[in-house]
Structure 1
Amino acid sequence: MKILVTGGAGFIGSNLVDKLISLYHDVVVIDDLSTGRVENLNSEAKFYKMDICDKDILEVFKKEKFDIVYHMAAQIDIQKSIKDPINDAMINIIGTINILEACRKSNVNKIIYSSTAAAYGNPNYLGIDEEHYKEPISFYGSSKLSSEYYIPVYSRLYDLDYTILRYSNVYGIRQDKNGEGGVVSIFLENIMNYKDVTIFGDGSATRDYIYVEDVVNANINSIEYGNGEVFNIGTGKYTSVIELFGIMKNIANKNIDVVFEDERLEDIKDSYFEINKSLSMLNWKPEFCLEYGLRKTMEYYESKYI
């Protein structure tokens, strides 16, 4: 199939592109390289350096004639969204509408959209299922949720199939320090450089950390399964920040200390997913435990430092 990955030079997007190419799909990447990196690009993918808000994107769609569009390009930094909500909305809402318009005008069969646990806000109960009330506490969460609402309308009006995937805290190779799972890469950079790690609050806050390869597999399954549905993509398990640090410290076998700072108001205390819907309807399940994923991630970054 002919497949587009927006944000295909980024963390999750580039891992997905590699997998799609290994499955013999014809892959095109659109990325403005504002956060994505040239070195992440697969040489077998065709690349367009473009902003997703660029109106000329339609010409790319008409030329390439995509079957499937993975829309992963986004502004993912919660702190940046709070400092500059207009820019966040332009990328995450207007950019998504621009992609949807291009899908409509070029007869794309299906769009697979990367969303976020930030759409839920502070949970009323744990684990969070797909029906949980949604009340984002950041502009990032609000903009991603807004785009979720546009997609089913395009589907009803223009017969565009879709699947929406809400990720928990994704970590793995090629991740930078921004985004919801960025705590792993922040800790990792400090550990590699023998620097103390900063934890906001007392370290008891919990998250659902999922390895990037599991997220890629959920995206692959979304080609065939999950039409017209929204899915939580996580492990269904929770780990505290201080536990996460302990696992990483043990794997690295380095003597690193923790510096505790005041809790940040915009941070959610506890969050993890209930994933039964993904297990049953997406024909997917997470395969990699946290220690395995962290070990693979740390081995990758160690090879970069050496």
Structure 2
Amino acid sequence: MEEKMAIEDIMSNKVINADMEDIFQRDISLQELYGKTVMITGATGMLASYLIYFIMWLNEKKQADIKIVALARNRQKCLERFGGYLERDYFELRLDDILQPLTIEGDIDYIIHTASLASPQYYGTVPVDVAAPNVIGTYNLLELARHKKTKGFLFFSSGDVYGKMPDGIGGFSEQEMGVMDPLDTHSCYGESKRMGETLCAAYTRQYNISTAIARIGHTYGPTMDIDNDPRVFSSFMKNICEGKDIVLRSDGTAKRPFCYIADAVAAYLLILLRGEAGNAYNVCNTGQFISMNELAETLINIRQDIELKIVHDIKNADNDFVENKDNVANCPVSTKLEKLGWECHFDVKSGFGRVYSFLKRET
């Protein structure tokens, strides 16, 4: 892959700018953020960085005067993500360890906690590192929210909290919950997200902190790291960009709801600003609940210049990747979020088409 685009170019990139405009045009009450301070943890992650791009865009294009306090662990990654914008007056980069109590000067109006090792590649190798930010980190950030009297706290959770739902249940809401073995390798993520949610609800009840929870499903976007992210949709896109056949190491029948990042960012902001305190909201594009085979077929059709095919190679499946095999035919529904005014603008064809355009630097 060619060298990643410098951040000074990214704000004028055709795809990024179109996404920012799409989010802005939605009914989200964004003015509530104007002139406020927003702290975002895990700032270099795909989801968090897109949120930050949008706030940067609001400041640069709409004079929103929002102060960004970005928490991350690696300054170099921040430079790669945000470049010269790190020097803007509205941008404060901090390398705080959220596993330690946080001391930050000044007001913090909103906290968005995204910091987490979400990829299954870590579950079998560094499970403590996976669980700690979701539990200890969440506690420390909620304590900060309590002392700062923040207006809103958004916790990035996951559909993994549902565990294994009954076979054949189909769609399920936030009020339903399946079974999870706390000793299973995969549970370091799902169980710690459950505890993070419990802490959020507890702080709402005991301290009246306005917390809300986004249970995030499969989300993709232009800035996903196709070189290092082993998740299926990222691997597929890497093959498409390199002009290689898509190799499926399963039978391809498992289904997941795929949500484009512009739709997802709009959801996060809605939940932060309109969500009911102590409540969770599914963030998934239920209308794009498709199988891996269907996704692969959609992606190979993005490349009209060459002929690609789908290859099934189950015998060479990667045993180091801890795949979640629960709920392969069940899907969280987004009805509760839709009642806040959320709607999806992108299907997998248009969404992944935008990803491909960005990765190929079609400006």
Fold match (TM-score > 0.5):
yes
Match for 1:49 among 84, 95, 111? 95
Distance verdict in 2 for CA 1:97–1:184, change over 3 Å: same
Q: Secondary structure at the match of 1:54?
A: coil
1:20 match: 55
Q: Is this contact kept in 2: 1:28–1:46, CA < 8 A?
A: yes
1:289 match: 347
* Deviation for aligned residue 1:35: 11
Counterpart CA distance in 2 for 1:298 and 1:111 is: 33
2:337 match: 278
Counterpart CA distance in 1 for 2:189 and 2:122 is: 8
* Deviation for aligned residue 1:277: 0.8
Mapping of residues 199-238 of structure 1, within 5 Å: 199-228=248-277, 229-237=279-287, 238=289
* Deviation for aligned residue 1:84: 2.5
Q: Is this contact kept in 1: 2:109–2:151, CA < 8 A?
A: yes
* Deviation for aligned residue 1:279: 0.7
* Deviation for aligned residue 1:265: 6.6
Match for 2:81 among 29, 33, 40? 40
Counterpart CA distance in 2 for 1:278 and 1:35 is: 36
Q: Secondary structure at the match of 1:251?
A: coil
1:105 match: 147
Match for 2:205 among 151, 156, 159? 156
Mapping of residues 158-173 of structure 1, within 5 Å: 158-173=207-222
2:172 match: 128
* Deviation for aligned residue 1:248: 0.8
Q: Is this contact kept in 1: 2:248–2:310, CA < 8 A?
A: no
Distance verdict in 2 for CA 1:248–1:74, change over 3 Å: same
Counterpart CA distance in 2 for 1:179 and 1:151 is: 29
Counterpart CA distance in 1 for 2:323 and 2:81 is: 34
Greater shift, 217-226 or 29-38, is seen at 29-38
1:251 match: 302
Q: Is this contact kept in 2: 1:8–1:41, CA < 8 A?
A: no
Mapping of residues 62-141 of structure 1, within 5 Å: 63-124=105-166, 125-136=169-180, 138-141=187-190
Count of paired positions: 299
Q: Secondary structure at the match of 1:163?
A: strand
Q: Is this contact kept in 2: 1:85–1:139, CA < 8 A?
A: yes
Distance verdict in 2 for CA 1:148–1:179, change over 3 Å: farther
2:72 match: 31
Q: Secondary structure at the match of 2:103?
A: helix
Q: Is this contact kept in 2: 1:209–1:235, CA < 8 A?
A: yes
Distance verdict in 2 for CA 1:145–1:221, change over 3 Å: same
Q: 2:272 corresponds to which letter in structure 1?
A: I
* Deviation for aligned residue 1:77: 1.7
* Deviation for aligned residue 1:192: 1.9
Q: Is this contact kept in 1: 2:51–2:265, CA < 8 A?
A: yes
Distance verdict in 2 for CA 1:215–1:19, change over 3 Å: same
Q: Deviations over 1:206-231 (max 9, x none)?
A: 00000011110011212321122211
Q: 2:203 corresponds to which letter in structure 1?
A: Y
Q: Is this contact kept in 1: 2:255–2:329, CA < 8 A?
A: yes
Q: Deviations over 1:123-161 (max 9, x none)?
A: 322212111214345321111111011111111111110
* Deviation for aligned residue 1:196: 3.8
Distance verdict in 2 for CA 1:197–1:270, change over 3 Å: same
Counterpart CA distance in 1 for 2:242 and 2:274 is: 43
Q: Secondary structure at the match of 2:274?
A: coil
Q: Secondary structure at the match of 1:41?
A: helix
Q: Is this contact kept in 2: 1:78–1:138, CA < 8 A?
A: no
Q: Secondary structure at the match of 2:205?
A: helix
Q: Is this contact kept in 1: 2:153–2:272, CA < 8 A?
A: no
* Deviation for aligned residue 1:256: 4.2
Q: Is this contact kept in 2: 1:225–1:283, CA < 8 A?
A: no
1:11 match: 46
**Structure 2 segments unaligned to the other structure (5+ residues):** 1-35, 59-63, 181-185
Counterpart CA distance in 2 for 1:133 and 1:143 is: 15
Counterpart CA distance in 2 for 1:267 and 1:123 is: 11
Q: 1:77 corresponds to which letter in structure 2?
A: S
Distance verdict in 2 for CA 1:252–1:51, change over 3 Å: farther
CA RMSD between the two structures: 2.4
Q: Is this contact kept in 1: 2:172–2:331, CA < 8 A?
A: yes
Which has the larger Rg? 2
Q: Secondary structure at the match of 2:302?
A: helix
